[in-house]
Amino acid sequence: MAKRIHLLEKKVAELIAAGEVVERPCSVVKELVENCIDAGATAVTVEIKNGGVRYIRVTDNGCGIAREDVPTAFLRHATSKVQTEDDLDAISTLGFRGEALASVAAVAHVELITRTSEEPMGTRYCIDGGEETLLEDAGCPKGTTILVRDLFYNTPARMKFLKKDVSEANAVASAVDRIALSHPEVSVKFIRDGKQERMTPGDGKLLSTIHAVFGRQFAQGLLPVDYTLGGVKVSGYISKPSASRPNRSMQSFFINGRYVRTRTAAVALEEACKGSVMVGKFPACVLNLTLNLALVDVNVHPAKIEVRFVNERPIFDAVYHACKNALGADAPAQEIDLSK
Between the CA of residue 16 and those of 21, 72, 100, 107, 182, what are the distances in Å? 10, 20, 13, 10, 30
Q: Give which of ligand ADP, Mg ion, none residue 79 binds (C-beta under 5 to 8 Å, depending on kind).
A: ligand ADP
**For residues 79-118, which are near Mg ion according to CB under 5 A?**
95, 100
Segment interacting with Mg ion, rule: CB under 5 A, options 35-43, 109-117, 132-140, 307-315: 35-43
Q: Quick one: DSSP state of residue 274? A: B
Q: Give which of Mg ion, ligand ADP, none residue 264 binds (C-beta under 5 to 8 Å, depending on kind).
A: none
The binder of Mg ion chosen from 22, 25, 30, 35 (CB under 5 A): 35
Nearer to ligand ADP, 145 or 264 (CB): 145
Helix (H), strand (E) at residue 293: none
Minimum distance from CB of 155 to ligand ADP (Å)? Answer: 18
Helix (H, G, I), strand (E, B) or coil at 285: strand
Q: Per CB under 5 A, does 123 bind Mg ion?
A: no
- Position of minimal CB gap to ligand ADP: 95
Q: Give which of Mg ion, ligand ADP, none residue 73 binds (C-beta under 5 to 8 Å, depending on kind).
A: ligand ADP
Angle at 131 between CA 125 and CA 135, to 5 degrees: 25
| Separation of alpha carbons 340 and 334, rounded Å | 15
Q: Three-state SS across 156-193?
A: HHHHHCCCCHHHHHHHHHHHHHHHHHHCCCCEEEEEEC
Binding site for ligand ADP (CB under 6 A): 31, 35-36, 39, 60, 62-65, 73, 78-81, 95-102, 144
Minimum distance from CB of 218 to Mg ion (Å)? Answer: 30
| Separation of alpha carbons 34 and 146, rounded Å | 13
Between the CA of residue 191 and those of 76, 177, 196, 203, 299, what are the distances in Å? 30, 12, 4, 20, 31
| Separation of alpha carbons 116 and 43, rounded Å | 16
Segment interacting with Mg ion, rule: CB under 5 A, options 32-40, 128-136, 167-175, 265-273: 32-40
Nearer to Mg ion, 104 or 222 (CB): 104
Nearer to Mg ion, 35 or 251 (CB): 35
**Contacts with Mg ion, residue ranges (CB under 5 A):** 35, 95, 100
